[in-house]
Every structure is written in C-alpha cells, then in structure tokens.
Amino acid sequence: MTSTHDEKFRRCNWNTTDPIYLTYHDHEWGRPQYDSQKLFEMLCLEGMQAGLSWITILKRREAYREAFDGFDPQSISTFSDDKIARLMNNSGIIRNRLKINAIVTNARMFLEVEKEQPFNKYLWSFVKGKPIVHYYTEPKMIPASTEESLLMSKDLKKRGFKFVGPTICYAFMQATGMVNDHVTHCFCFRELMGMKKRSLSIQERAVDH
C-alpha cells in the first residue's frame, strides 16, 4: 500500500485515482466507527463483496442504502418474500438471492444481539474495545485474516449471521478501524496515530452508546 500522487499525501496503493475510492480511503477506511447501525451496514456490505471487487460494492452503496432502508435492522427484519422478490429486480444492487437473504437474516440476528448488549460493544469486544495498530510497511505484510477475525467469524456464525467468514470479518475490521492497516508511510496512518492520543474514556463512552 504505497503512494499515489503528492509525496505529502502518500496513500495506500490499494486505492485508485477514482474519486469515490480516494474519498473512502482518506475519510473512512481505518477510522474507528462506533455507531451500531453503521457497523451493521459495513458488515453487510463486506459480505456483499464476496467474490467481487470492493469498488463494485462501493459504487452501489447509495443504492444499497435506499434498497435496505438505510440499513435499519428493525425495518429490514420485517422484509417479506415479496419485498425480497422486488429487490431481485433492483438493478442498483447485486441481484444475488443468497446475499439479499443474508442481509435480512443478519438484521434479525442484530436484534438478537441487541437483547444482550449493544451491537457496537459486542463487535468491539473482539479487539478489547480499542483499535489494534499494525505497523506494516508493505502490502505483502498485511494478512487476509487474523486470530481476532477468526474468533469474530466463529461467534457471528454461531449466532446465525451469514457471509461472515474470517476474511470478510477482517476486511470489516480494517474498514471500521478496529485495526489500523494503513501502511506506515500513508498520511492516514499518521492521522490515526494522532487520534490514538485521545483518552480511553472517550473511546469507552463511544462504544457504550
């Protein structure tokens, strides 16, 4: 994950010159996300990526949000067979019945988790409530999965979630800032290390809400 253009703003080289991708890299990927509904959205979208490129999903993100009621788990959990059939005719999303059904199933499982504890607190528990910082200098150093993603995947599957294999879970953890996998020369890595100086109490309050 090396640079793109300006030496001052060297980026991870997995992104391209596509403005959508650059914005995602610069302002979202790897930045800690504590909002339960947004975490649910990203978990679903990472599952939709299976077998496809991330840019394919990223460019359809707004269509997914519209199709799935802003990724509101309560609303999605009520989707009927007729609703799912209509989604199969929605050209704005990937029309894969298994993947569409998975989002509905995952919404229902989200609500089950929420009966026990906040969804964000549950997910962040796999990294003990704070981001894991990796000091990778080259893309080849970054793994496809880790012990933490294996544990998350195993527990999610046990609870009934779909499309949550260890590789998907690790991509999710990277995207939501549970791990910092920006390479060390990426300007985002430096920004995130600065953010890391915030007090743990702030992080804890964010996870609790």
Active site residues: 24, 46, 54
Distance CA 62, CA 73 (A): 17
Name beta bridge partners: 179.
132
Name beta bridge partners: 180.
133
Six token digits for residue 79 = 């989707």
Phi–psi pair at 141, nearest 5 degrees: -80, -20
Q: Which residues fall within 8 angstroms of residue 133, CB to CB, at 6 or more apart? A: 179, 180, 192, 193, 196
